[in-house]
Amino acid sequence: MKLYMHPGACSLSPHIIAKELALPVELIAIDRNTHRTSSGEDFHRINRNGYVPVLELEDGATLTEGPAIVQFLADLKPEAGLAPKAGTVERARVQSWLNFMTSELHKPMVLLFRPPYAPVRSTLLELVEKRLGWVASEMVGPYLTGDTFTVADAYFFVILNWSPWLEIDLGRWPTLKAFMDRVGARPAVQNALAAEGLAPFGDEHTFYAPPAMVTAERQAARS
Ligand SMILES: N[C@@H](CCC(=O)N[C@@H](CS)C(=O)NCC(=O)O)C(=O)O
């Protein structure tokens, strides 16, 4: 299988799940400026929406939309328990979290990265922080649905990892900071981060960024 991705973007979520399941996945990085692969292939021919992640199966079929991709991967090895059996209330709870992540957090956070949305930045930020506060108040176990790590946790980890760039202080919610550290300590997560060339940064090594950004941050801290 091939995973079309940008380092550290939402495509890191299915990448983490592939590592958790020890599924061989070839990473195909898309140039953010040219929208091409390193071999020059036009990414819009693979996903006409132009965004990652895209999972390409062995027969050439493609799957888009992160929440669908992670469930597809988890169902390849149900014994790993990354997604409960389809049709159960437990599975619906995981899907509920995936849907919450994609619509209530991922989308407004992506807009916060885009200059045209600068005029509504404070409104978007307020909404995102309200939603984060709600998740923090809902979490009673180490993971979103309780004691078991699921595909929804990988997605949440990736989204939370964007906090420093959006100037969201995760320290406001110790539960979420502890969640980041807990998920970041998983060997499969570390493998996926390393494979994307992402290194820990900041005093507490909670977040991960490409080396160029880490170097810039260290230089800024020294000056
Ligand atoms: N609805 C899509 C959204 C994917 C998405 O927002 N991808 C971003 C990276 S996190 C992207 O590729 N942006 C580049 C672009 O839109 O050109 C999903 O959940 O998979």
Averaged over successive runs of 10 residues, the pLDDT of the chain (223 residues) comes to 97 98 97 93 96 98 98 98 98 98 98 96 98 97 98 98 95 97 98 97 89 66 58
Distance CA 124, CA 127 (A): 5
Out of 98, 110, 160, mutate this one to test ligand 1's pocket (max ligand atoms within 8 Å of CB): namely 110
Q: What is the model's pLDDT at position 118?
A: 96
Out of 17, 43, 52, mutate this one to test ligand 1's pocket (max ligand atoms within 8 Å of CB): namely 52
User: DSSP letters of 45-74?
Assistant: GT-TT--S-EEE-TTS-EEESHHHHHHHHH
Q: What is the model's pLDDT at position 65?
A: 98
C-beta of 51 in contact with ligand 1 (< 6 A): yes
Q: What is the model's pLDDT at position 215?
A: 65
Q: What is the model's pLDDT at position 109?
A: 97
Our measurement of the distance from residue 116's CA atom to the centroid of its chain's CA atoms, rounded to an integer in Å, reads 23
C-beta of 162 in contact with ligand 1 (< 6 A): no
- 3-state DSSP assignment of residue 222: helix
Q: What is the model's pLDDT at position 214?
A: 65
Q: Can you name the residues that pair with 55 across neighbouring β-strands?
A: 3, 63
Residue found under tokens 């807990």:
182
Q: Are strands 62-64 and 54-56 parallel, antiparallel or unpaired?
A: antiparallel
CA distances from 199 to 54, 155, 183, 194, 195 (A): 24, 18, 15, 7, 10
C-beta of 102 in contact with ligand 1 (< 6 A): yes
> Taking a C-beta distance cutoff of 8 angstroms, is the pair 206, 170 a contact?
yes
Q: What is the model's pLDDT at position 201?
A: 87
Question: What angle (nearest 5°) sits at the alpha carbon of residue 87, between those of residues 81 and 89?
Answer: 75
Measured in Å, residue 35 CA sits from the centre of ligand 1 at 12
Tokens of 150: 């699921």
End-to-end Cα distance, the chain: 45
pTM: 0.95
C-beta of 109 in contact with ligand 1 (< 6 A): no
Measured in Å, residue 221 CA sits from the centre of ligand 1 at 31
